[in-house]
């Protein structure tokens, strides 16, 4: 694939539900983002289900659903009965657009806030760095990348860690003469603060300034979220419910699981359940009757309807309502680690995401977040 003629950056604004932008626009908090919405393109798109970070970042950079690229969650149960983080590039079943442009001679860079995504985004020889470990990572001809940003590297749970990734992307791209840049942010702020709360306002105001810096530097810009966000006042512990009915062979796997438990305590609105064939119907009926459960889909049905790889999901796929998160057993989740009340994602109710482009482009009615590169590049 040929490199773009205009320097192009796509930013995954992790967890930025449309309500954050609607609130910010109403209060004139984000003039540069408002400018994009009025003079460029602003629509609501749909994300990949389950609406988690890894499957959606990979959908964005491949332009494909999870059934093609192979990453249905952050976490899954492999054939050897081991729960595995889906972070290694060996799990990918599709080439990324970043890798195709790099193979065509383009200068490509990926910057992720969370280290967990760096391997997936760097697949195919793409230069990839993370804000989380910028002080440990070096790029040929540049050196340690943290030295390019003239401030202290924030911690992964600092409100401005995402902004550091954007600053790093701008500085490193200048040194590498990057033509195609992907920056993936983190959603710690959105897990911790609702629209209009002070930390959210700080985050959005600084995001707005940095988007302006890219626009002023001549970049064509695309912003899209991986998922939305909702408060989850109810937690339904499916493992406890199954145990109470003697269905101890059933296993609940939480695909939101990742190393960043302060965000969400491994509680999201989608999960897999593995069960023995002779108990599967009973398990499905019991789970469907639990508070806050919206849907229980069999493996084959979920693979088709949700565009998921059948071999990397459970015998059952469970989706919760907007106010409910799904857990395993109450004793296995440390809600004390949360900084504030539980806000999370994963189901259909967090599938609606904002898509902003710095150019006016005709967008199909059923646009997905994975369409952003096709819209900007014709990919």
pLDDT of residue 268: 95
Q: Answer yes or no: are the C-beta atoms of 58 and 117 closer than 8 Å.
A: no
Residue 94 resides in a domain = yes
- 310 and 170, same structural domain? no
Q: What is the DSSP string of 176-236?
A: HT-SEEEEE---HHHHH--TTSHHHHHHHHHHHHHHHHHHHTT-EEEEE-S---EE--EEE
Is residue 240, in this structure, part of any structural domain at all?
A: yes
- The CATH code of the domain that includes 90 is 3.40.720.10
Q: Classify residue 2: in a domain, yes or no.
A: no
| pLDDT in the model for residue 259 | 63
Do 63 and 97 lie in one domain? The reply is: yes
41, 155: one domain:
yes
Q: Does residue 28 carry a pLDDT above 60? A: yes
Strand pairing partners for 239?
none
The pLDDT value given to residue 338: 63
Residue 1 lies in a domain: no
Residues 305 and 364 occupy one common structural domain: no
Residue identified by tokens 């190393």 is: 259
Q: Are residues 352 and 321 in the same domain?
A: no
- Extract the runs of DSSP E, i.e. beta strands, from 242-377: 251-253, 270-274, 293-298, 316-320, 324-327, 343-344, 352-357
Q: 217 and 358 in one domain?
A: yes
Whether 379 has a pLDDT exceeding 70, the answer reads: no
Whether residue 222 sits in one domain with residue 120: yes
Q: Which two tokens stand for residue 102?
A: 């790099």
Total count of domains within the chain: 2
Secondary structure (3-state) at 120: helix
Quote the pTM value. 0.96
Range 1-39 burial, b when 16+ CB lie within 10 A, else e: bebbeebbbbbbbbbbbbbbbebbbeeebbebbbbbbee
> Using one digit for the tens of pLDDT, what is the confidence trace for 196-217?
999 999 999 999 999 999 999 9
Within a domain: 3? no
pLDDT of residue 195: 98
Same domain, 316 and 366: no
The pLDDT-based confidence of 279 (bands split at 50, 70, 90) is very high
Average pLDDT along the chain = 95
| Furthest-apart CA atoms within the chain: distance in Å | 62
Which residues neighbour 268 within 8 Å (Cβ) at sequence distance 6 or greater? 50, 52, 254, 255, 256, 325, 326, 344, 345, 346, 347
Residues 250, 274, single domain; the answer is yes
Say if 87 falls within a structural domain.
Answer: yes
Here the CATH number for the domain that contains residue 252 is 3.30.1360.110
Residues 91 and 225 in one domain: yes
Domain that holds residue 267: 230-344
Residue 208 lies in a domain: yes
Mean pLDDT of 351-362: 97
Residue 254 is assigned to a structural domain of this protein? yes
- DSSP 3-state assignment of 357? strand
Do 98 and 176 lie in one domain? The reply is: yes
Query: Are 181 and 219 part of one and the same domain?
Result: yes
């Amino acid at each position: 694939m040929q490199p773009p003629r205009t320097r192009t950056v796509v930013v995954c604004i992790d967890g930025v539900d449309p309500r954050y932008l609607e609130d910010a626009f109403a209060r004139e908090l984000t003039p540069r983002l408002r400018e994009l919405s009025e003079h460029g393109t602003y629509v609501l798109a749909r994300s990949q289900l389950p609406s988690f970070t890894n499957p959606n970042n990979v959908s964005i950079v491949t332009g494909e659903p999870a059934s093609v690229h192979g990453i249905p969650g952050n976490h899954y149960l492999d054939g050897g009965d081991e729960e595995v983080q889906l972070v290694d590039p060996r799990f990918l079943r599709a080439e990324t657009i970043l890798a195709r442009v790099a193979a065509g001679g383009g200068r490509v860079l990926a910057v992720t806030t969370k280290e967990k995504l760096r391997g997936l985004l760097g697949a195919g020889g793409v230069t990839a760095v993370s804000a989380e470990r910028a002080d440990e990572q070096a790029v040929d001809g540049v050196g340690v990348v943290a030295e390019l940003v003239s401030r202290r590297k924030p911690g992964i749970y600092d409100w401005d860690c995402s902004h550091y990734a954007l600053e790093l992307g701008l500085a490193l791209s200048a040194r590498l003469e990057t033509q195609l840049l992907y920056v993936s942010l983190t959603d710690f702020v959105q897990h911790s603060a609702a629209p209009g709360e002070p930390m959210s306002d700080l985050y959005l105001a600084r995001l707005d300034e940095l988007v302006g810096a890219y626009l002023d530097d001549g970049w064509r810009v695309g912003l899209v979220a991986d998922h939305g966000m909702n408060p989850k006042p109810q937690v339904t512990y499916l493992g406890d419910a199954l145990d109470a009915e003697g269905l101890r062979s059933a296993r609940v796997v939480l695909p939101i699981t990742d190393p960043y438990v302060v965000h969400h305590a491994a509680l999201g609105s989608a999960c897999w359940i593995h069960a023995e064939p002779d108990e599967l119907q009973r398990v499905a009926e019991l789970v469907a009757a639990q508070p806050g459960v919206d849907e229980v889909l069999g493996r084959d049905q979920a693979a088709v309807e949700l565009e998921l790889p059948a071999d990397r999901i459970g015998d059952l796929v469970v989706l919760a309502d907007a106010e409910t998160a799904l857990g395993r057993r109450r004793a296995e989740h440390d809600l004390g680690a949360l900084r504030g009340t539980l806000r999370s994602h994963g189901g259909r109710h967090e599938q609606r995401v904002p898509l902003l482009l710095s150019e006016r482009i005709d967008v199909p009615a059923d646009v997905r977040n994975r369409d952003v590169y096709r819209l900007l590049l014709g990919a």
